Amino acid sequence: MKLAVVLLICMLSFSGSAQTDENHPPRFVIQPAIGYSYRLTDGKSSYPVDFLSELGRHSINHHFFAGSIFLSQSFGINLKATLNVKQYKNEYQSKGEQFSSFIRDYHSPLHYTEYDIQRMKFYLGESAFISLGVAYRIIKNKWTCQFGLNLGGIKMKTAGITYYLKEHGSNDYQSVLLKTDMDDRMMLSIEPSFLLSYKPIKRLGIFINCSYLFSPSKIRQIEERTDLYTDFRQTFEHSAKNKYHMIAVNLGLSVELGKITK
Amino acid sequence: MTKNTLLLLFLSILSGGLYSCHSKIKADEIPVDLCSVELDLIDNTFASPQLAAGDTVEAKAFGLRAVLNYVYDGNICRISPLETFSFFPACYASSSPDARKVYVSTERIDSIAIITTNYFDAGHPAGSNVAGCFSVFEKFEFHEANSYFFGYRSINLVSEYTFPLKEEVNLLLKEMPEYSGDFQFTIRFFLNNGDVLESVASQIHLNI
C-alpha cells in the first residue's frame, strides 16, 4: 500500500515534465517488482538430504528492487536486491508423507525411522540476493526492451529437517538433522535477464521481467547424527548433486528520472 | 513473652502458608493417588518396546516397563473392582475425565531402586541397585531414572478411562551386564510419606 502511494506521487510529480522520447531517454530508472520463482533441480538423488532441494520449488514471494543508471542511451549499470521467501504450509502434508516414506525405505532394515509430518509445515527457506551488472536497452516509442547481466551473491537461510532413528535390535536412538551449507556462506550468483516495459504515461511504466538465476558454487548437503543417550555427534557431507538455479517472472513499475541529452 | 508468642504465631502462619503454597495442587490439576506398581519385561528389538514374548532377550534391546497405578484422590485404592465388590459402586466411580487438565500424584517419589537378584557386573553384585544402568526413554529423550520420577510431576496416563489409571514408563538398559545369564529385577519406589511400593518382574535370560 505504501509502495503504491509512493509510486503514485512519483507519477503525478513527473507527469507534467517534458515528455521523454527516444532521443532523450531517462538516465535513472527505479524498478520495484513482485513475482514468482521456480527452482530447478538437476534430478533426484538417493540421499535423504537431497530431499531438501525438492521442497518449496515454487515461490510467489520473489520480489526485487532494482535501480539503473544509464551512461549512454543504451548502456547502463544495474543494481538489484532480491528477496525470496518460501513456505510449505500448503504442501506440507503430501511432502511430509513423501519424506517419511523416503527415509523409511532408505534406512531400512538397519534402522526404524520416526518423523513428525507436522514439522514439514514449518520448514521455511529465505534467500536474499544482491547483484551488480550491466544493462542494455532498446527504446521504441513507448516500449523498452532491456537485457541485463548481473553478478552478485546469494545468502540463504533454511530450517533443517529433523527425524529420529532407532537401531534394529538395540536401545540406540539417534536424531538426524538434514541441512545444507548454504546457511553459512554467501554464494556467487549470475543472473541474465530480459525486461519488457511499456510506458503509458510520462516517466512511469509497467514491465515484465524474466530472469534465470543460478550459482556455479557447489552445494554441500550435510547430515548430522546425534546419539540421544551420549550426545555424540557425527557429521556426514554428501557431494551435491543439485545446483542452485531458478527462473523468475516479475511484474513491476518503472519510474524514470532525469534524461540523457545528446 | 507476648512478643515471643506473637513472633512464634507469625512464623507458624508463615511456614504453614509457604508449605501450603508449595504443596497446593493448582486449580487445573487433577490429584491422583499412587496405589501400586507393576514391573514388566520389554523387548526393544523392533520399532518400539514390546512386552517380552519369550524368556530370552538380547541385553542391548532389553528394558523394564514400570506400570504405576493411580486412582482419583479419595477413591478406594484397589487393583481391580472385582476384588472388592461393593453395594456402593459410586466408590469406584471416577469423576469425568478431562483431557485438558493435568494429572498429578499426591504422593511424591523420593527415589527408586532396581535390584538385581543376580551378579550384574563388578560394580553391581547380586542384590545391588542397578537403577543407574537403566534410563527412562520418553518422547525421544533419555532421562536418569531417579531424576525422572523425583518430586512433583505431571503424569502421562495411558488412558483416562481405565481403572485404575495407568502410567507406563519404559526404562531401557543402557549399561550391559558382564555376562549372559538369568536375571530377575525388583523395582522399588520410595515415597516421601515413608511408604515403599515394590514389584518383582519375571526371570529373564539376557544374551550379550
ipTM given for this complex: 0.77
Q: Please spell the DSSP secondary structure of B147-204, one letter per residue.
A: HHHBBS-EE-BS-SSSSSEEEEEEEEE-S--SS-EEE-EEEEEEETTS-EEEEEPPPE
**B142 contacts A229? CB cut-off 8 A:** yes
C-alpha cell at A176: 538426524
Query: Which one of A164, A168, A171 has the shortest CB-CB distance to B140?
Result: A164
The residue with greater pLDDT, B91 or A258, is A258
Residues of A within 8 A of B65 (CB-CB) are none
CB distance from B134 to chain A under 8 Å? no
For a pLDDT cut of 90, what percent of chain A falls above it? 45
Residues 6+ apart with CB under 8 A from B202: B41, B55, B184
B132-160 pLDDT, tens digit each: 999 999 999 999 999 999 988 888 888 87
The interface residues of chain A toward chain B in range 108-147, judged by CB-CB distance below 8 A, are 112, 114
- What's the one-letter identity of residue A163? Y
What is the nearest CA distance from A178 to chain B, expressed in angstroms? 18
CB distance from A230 to chain B under 8 Å? no
pLDDT of residue B174: 96
**A173 contacts B62? CB cut-off 8 A:** no
CA A85 vs CA A3, A35, A201: distances in Å: 19, 11, 33
For a pLDDT cut of 90, what percent of chain B falls above it? 57
* Cα gap B163→A213, rounded to integer Å: 64
B143: nearest CA in chain A?
A229
**Measuring CA to CA, which residue among A217, A213, A221, A216 is closest to residue A240?**
A221
Q: Give the position of cell 472388592.
A: B84
**B58 contacts A169? CB cut-off 8 A:** yes
The residue with greater pLDDT, A160 or B134, is B134
Strand partners, A37: A59, A248
**Cis, peptide link before residue A48, omega less than 30° from 0:** no
The residue with greater pLDDT, A104 or A88, is A104
Q: Could you say which residues of chain B have pLDDT below 70?
A: 1, 8-27, 74-100
What 3-state class would DSSP assign to B120?
coil
Contact predicate B35/B75, CB 8 Å: no
pLDDT, mean over chain A? 83
Per-residue confidence band for A90, with pLDDT thresholds at 50, 70 and 90: low
**B47 contacts A169? CB cut-off 8 A:** no
DSSP, res B124: B
CB distance from B141 to chain A under 8 Å? yes
CA B23 vs CA A160, A175, A259, B152: distances in Å: 42, 37, 80, 9
Range with lowest mean pLDDT among A104-113, A132-141, A182-191, B13-22: B13-22
Residues of A within 8 A of B142 (CB-CB) are 173, 228-229
Residues of A within 8 A of B45 (CB-CB) are 168-169
- What's the one-letter identity of residue A91? E
Contact predicate B140/A164, CB 8 Å: yes
pLDDT of residue A24: 79
* Cα gap B124→A166, rounded to integer Å: 28
- What's the one-letter identity of residue A44? K
Is the per-residue pLDDT at A10 higher than 50?
Answer: no
Residues of A within 8 A of B136 (CB-CB) are none
Query: Which one of B60, B62, B140 has the shortest CB-CB distance to A173?
Result: B140
Give the torsion sign (CA, A176, A181, A185, A191). Answer: negative
What is the nearest CA distance from B187 to chain A, expressed in angstroms? 20
CB distance from A177 to chain B under 8 Å? no
Strand A173-180 with A221-227, pairing? antiparallel
The interface residues of chain B toward chain A in range 57-76, judged by CB-CB distance below 8 A, are 58, 60-63
